[in-house]
Amino acid sequence: MASVNPFNVSDSDEEAERRPNETVDTERSPSEGAPGPPPGNSFSPSADGEPPTLLLSGNRTSPSGEGIQFPAAATSVMAGGTETRVSVDVIAAQLLRDQYILTALELHTELLEAGRELPRLRDYFSNPGNFERQSGTPPAKDQVIGPGGPLNRAGSISTLDSLDFARYSDDGNRESDERVAVLEFELRKAKETIQALRANLTQAAESEVPSQERKNFKTSPEIQEPIRPLEKRALNFLVNEYLLKNDYKLSSITFSDENDDQDFELWDDVGLNIPKPPDLLQLYRSCGTPLSSPRSTVDVSVAVDFADLPGNCTAQQSPKKPSLYSQKQTEVVQELEYQISLLNTEKQSFAEQIKKLQSEIQTLKRSVISPPLTTLDLGSQNAPNPLSSSTTITSNTTTTFSTNPLSMPSTDSSHYLDIRGDSDSKCEVNPPHQNTSQSCPQTHSEKKNRPPVQFDKPNRKLSPVFQQTLLSFCRMCPDSRLGAEVSRIADSEESVMLMLGRCLPHIVPNVLLAKRERMVTHLCQELIPLILCTACLHPEPKERDQLLHILFNLIKRPDDEQRQMILTGCVAFARHVGPTRVEAELLPQCWEQINHKYPERRLLVAESCGALAPYLPKEIRSSLVLSMLQQMLTEDKADMVREAVVKSLGIIMGYIDDPDKYSQGFELMLLSLADPSERVVSAVHQVFIPAFAAWTTELGMLHTALIPSLLARIEKLLKQGDHGLDEHKLHMFLSGLQSLIPPLFAVVLQNAPFTSRAILNGDIPAIEVTRFPRPASPLQDVATIIGSREMLSALLVLYDHQLEHEGTTGWDSLLWVVNQLLPLLIEIVGRINVTSSICVHEFSRFFWRFCRTFGKIFTNTKVKPQFQEILRLSEENVDASAGNGILTKATVPIYATGVLTCYNQEEDRKLLVGFLEDVMTTLSLSHAPLDSLKASFVELGANPVYHELLLTVLWYGVVHTSALVRCTAARMFELLVKGVNETLVAQRVVPALITLSSDPEISVRISTIPAFGTIMETVTQKELLERVKMQLASFLEDPQYQDQHSLHMEIIRTFGRVGPNAEPRFRDDFVLPHLHKLALANNHQVVETKRIDIAMQLFEAYSALSCCFISEEVMINHFLPGLRCLRVDMEQLSPEHEVILSSMIKECEIKVENRGMADAQGKSVCLRMEEACLQSAYVCVCGGIRVQFGLCPVPEPQVHVYCIHLGG
């Protein structure tokens, strides 16, 4: 007999599969995770087949006392001298059945080391249930021992690695206390697992793809259905299993790390009661015969084509294994039942679609008969873009229906589907893949024919793009399963059943949850479509009112998402029931909650008024709803509510067509602009003003009433400004006027002589990105107002050509802008106080947007000439006595910053430089105030782009022949230094100032002092500061300046302005000592006027510097002596100032005395600490300065804090 090696390395499962005559027990149930026998006995060979035998010596006995017998066939083969190999899986099964656990474990270990893991052994040793502790008595001889055997349960709950066999070898039955603890731990872990599985199940149910989307995926094979969480977790498990089996251990580790929310050692973590599919290899091998996918059909009966079934479903099974055959037959039956359920579901879906198509066809027929009335489309209302998503229905004509749930009744092509009316006539619908027609269901054709839902058609001419953009401000829910349910209210009893079938599976899990929070977030939202559906179809008005009351009170304080869901449902309800029921049923619910205590409820009311506006009767829309919103705007205290009110008012303005409501709309606009909340004012500019301007444009009142009314209020405000201008109101009116610029330009284009010649073709150039200023809102985009960017581009080409070549003859709207609006604006600008930087900035921004909107040709040919005519910057107009008054007004900075900076090309920059040079020259030679030039430099200096340009203008003044112009240039440097970077200051500013400081004219030199002081205040470069300090020292110490009263006045004024903000060392070492000298010299001044001038200027400077921290030395040596000298002057010249100075001197003296006392205390404390801690690492913390083993340098008593140890 030849010897047999049962662990021959060449043995493998593949070889066993290639030998069909051998008995290999590797059958696997599709519901099991690993190869093995049928579920009856997880780890023993099938009882139906011949039990496998083990080729070992006959004297080895099993635990039952029986030897291992050899089958006759095997014996005969061995007798013949032929080597017979037995599958390793057969050996493992025999070992497990005979309870050779340790031998099986050793076999499992050796197979793992050889890289040939056996699924049977892996599954056995990874299942903790096989090692549960049983009774202490050994089993009887004839007793069948299960796979668990008498082994004790390990302390671990996962793998065999944590088994301690020695622990249970002797004292396994005396650890009851420890077993209780283990069981409690396992119970707790099991509960956590159940909770996790339920959470996974709930999450998978919540993220389920909507049925409508699933239908789209079925009917369109090219569209890939998104993966569901359950599928993703199952695939992750199989992929990780494949990587481990094929020794891709690093990849498996990386994959596990990237999916740290999943336990790859436990299949139950994938989902609750989910059978484990075969591994990836078997899935790949069986992919050639996949299960049949559901057919795209609407047959009322279901038949199964056996050709579509998997090949192994109809294959004849071996009669030797009847259990496996019956099991596969059961799987086939289950698969067929699943296919039948899918076909039934799809059948119902197609039946519902047929009903809707029939209803739409009947609606189209009615709309052809009565064209003034529009009907409502309920086709797929879930698309995000109404302009790009549409559904085409073919009857006798082809009509495109909007698919957006926000699509409202419009004047062009929006249609409304009768939700109840159906045709009595028979109709047939041909699916795209079928040649046979399916008749309408009998219940559908027998329905009562109802008239279509009709809405008031507003007499408006808004472009579709503008209308859709306006409606986009309604807070509707995003695309989701629940959003689709809400916007698709059932229109028949059958549809109600379908909706219940879709919604109840999502409601029931939340009902079972005992937590109130989960019910609020899930259950309430899931109830919305059911409440709306019932309220839509219920015959009793009281019940309907109660249901809608429940809807509005469903959530105590609805958040954004929940409000969007309710709003979407209200809009869908309104689209179904018509304006009469909306007025009678929905509006009362809004009115009841207009003063609700929770702002979220009032916010829901405000948003509902705007969302329902298109579906209300026009009389109600322009009376009751408008009054409700006006009341909320004036009375509500919550900013977010008033913001929603303003947006809803804008939507109302998009549908209102009663001219008598213009004055009320204008007052609402002014009321909203005056709101203290920025978010409310922003909503006014984004929504309300564009919609209101569109309405006034249709009324012909934009340039005849609306804009003149705002200008009149601005003029009135400026006239009242003599006693103090209300800058907030000016900003309010001017910002409103600025928001009207795009509608005004659209009116000019639409009423131009060339409008009828605008043709859309492929040769139209694209609009430059910088052609228009960035709009504050999509509704302020000129393309949106016109209707499309293509039309706007065509009109712009004709507009520029008309202005450049043909003029404005017969162009009434543009002539009004040129001849009436511009002159009035320029006149208003001339009345503004140039010292009001806010007014200058607001008007500059207005003119900038105005010129950029109307274009460069218009600016060069219409705007600039009118400004230049008024300014008259020619040398013969220089008037030394009058100072050319217009140049001192705000016209100069507004023209420079609002008109000349609109375009930044080379010729534009040259024009700006020339204008500023002419203004500087004219004002200097006229001895006029420089406020207008300063305002121009401040406004332009705020933008770093213009710094080089301004320096060029100033250098022109530095080298000018007139000392007056050079003085002006020197003073302008003071304004420019604050915003210019230090590099430009060092390279351009300081050299120019040093040049001017050596000017022959003393007035020019004095004019540089403020600029030098500003440099000391703002610059941090030490070299630069030293140069400036040397220049100022030359002014103070040079004998030629000793009697220069104007220079001393300017230096004292500059020191008082920059001293508090300058570097402390500069203030202590330079400013205060020189002020002391100037105060002392002023005591000996003979001229009383000069003495009082210096004294008053010194008083201002010392008052500003007294707030600074001054060291004791400087206080004693310079600050107090300077104050005493100044008091001497004030005693004779101004006694009231002398009292103040005496008080200041007394306070400074007290401060010095307190510092002396604190200094002595601080020194003693530090000395004691130094003596006590000399051998330690202690430091004294004084005023933030740490000094080790020394005295505190700061003598302030309040800054001696404490001594701390360096080690903490």
pLDDT in tens, 1077-1133: 998 988 888 888 888 998 998 998 888 888 888 888 888 888 888 888 888 888 888
Of the candidates 877, 873, 863, the one whose C-alpha atom is nearest the C-alpha of residue 826 is 863
Using CA atoms, how far apart are residues 201 and 272, in angstroms rounded to an integer? 7
Predicted pLDDT at 1162: 53
Of the candidates 698, 657, 687, 691, the one whose C-alpha atom is nearest the C-alpha of residue 456 is 657
Average pLDDT over residues 190-201: 68
79-83, 826-830, 876-880: which has the highest mean pLDDT? 826-830
Using CA atoms, how far apart are residues 92 and 122, in angstroms rounded to an integer? 11
Question: Is residue 785 within 8 Å of residue 702, measured between CB atoms?
Answer: no
Among the ranges given (140-154, 177-191, 322-336), the one the predictor scored with the smallest mean pLDDT: 140-154
Using CA atoms, how far apart are residues 336 and 812, in angstroms rounded to an integer? 77
- Helix H or strand E segment including 1185: strand 1185-1188
- Residue 369 token pair: 């008969």
Using CA atoms, how far apart are residues 1032 and 524, in angstroms rounded to an integer? 77
Mutual orientation of helices 101-113 and 88-97 as an angle, nearest 10°? Answer: 150
- Helix H or strand E segment including 1204: strand 1200-1205
Query: Can you point out the beta strands (E) in 40-178?
Result: none
Using CA atoms, how far apart are residues 847 and 979, in angstroms rounded to an integer? 24
Using CA atoms, how far apart are residues 64 and 957, in angstroms rounded to an integer? 118
User: Residue holding tokens 């909340």?
Assistant: 677
Residue predicted with more confidence, 52 or 986: 986
Average pLDDT over residues 399-428: 36
- Residue 889 token pair: 């007004």
Within a 10 A sphere around the Cβ of 1178, how many other Cβ atoms?
18
209 pLDDT above the threshold of 80: no
Among the ranges given (18-27, 227-236, 1130-1139), the one the predictor scored with the smallest mean pLDDT: 18-27
Predicted pLDDT at 1148: 84
Q: From the CA atom positions of the chain, what is the Rg in Å?
A: 46
Using CA atoms, how far apart are residues 601 and 594, in angstroms rounded to an integer? 8
* Digit-coded pLDDT (tens) for 691-741: 999 999 999 999 999 999 999 999 998 888 666 778 889 999 999 999 999
Average pLDDT over residues 58-73: 40
Using CA atoms, how far apart are residues 417 and 742, in angstroms rounded to an integer? 36
Mutual orientation of helices 963-977 and 947-958 as an angle, nearest 10°? Answer: 150
Which residues fall within 8 angstroms of residue 201, CB to CB, at 6 or more apart? 271, 272, 509
Using CA atoms, how far apart are residues 1050 and 1045, in angstroms rounded to an integer? 9
Query: Three-state DSSP class for 1205?
Result: strand
Predicted pLDDT at 17: 44
Average pLDDT over residues 313-333: 57
Of the candidates 673, 620, 680, 682, the one whose C-alpha atom is nearest the C-alpha of residue 645 is 680
* Digit-coded pLDDT (tens) for 762-813: 677 888 888 899 998 999 999 999 988 889 999 999 999 999 888 888 889 9
* Digit-coded pLDDT (tens) for 437-477: 333 333 333 334 445 565 666 678 888 888 888 888 886 65
Question: Is residue 43 within 8 Å of residue 89, measured between CB atoms?
Answer: no
* Digit-coded pLDDT (tens) for 298-308: 444 344 444 44
The whole-model pTM stands at: 0.60
Q: What are phi and psi of 127, to 5 degrees?
A: -100, 110
Predicted pLDDT at 131: 75
Using CA atoms, how far apart are residues 299 and 1179, in angstroms rounded to an integer? 94
Categorize the per-residue pLDDT at 996 as very low, low, confident or very high, splitting at 50, 70 and 90: very high
Using CA atoms, how far apart are residues 194 and 269, in angstroms rounded to an integer? 10
Residues 43, 47, 50, 56, Cα dihedral to 10°: 40
6 pLDDT above the threshold of 70: no
Residues 1130, 1134, 1137, 1138, Cα dihedral to 10°: 40
Alpha helices in 424-523 (DSSP H): 442-445, 464-471, 481-487, 493-512, 516-518
Average pLDDT over residues 116-123: 88
What is the per-residue DSSP string for 375-424? -B--S-TT-S-TTT-EEEEESSSEEEEE--TT----SSS--B--SS---S
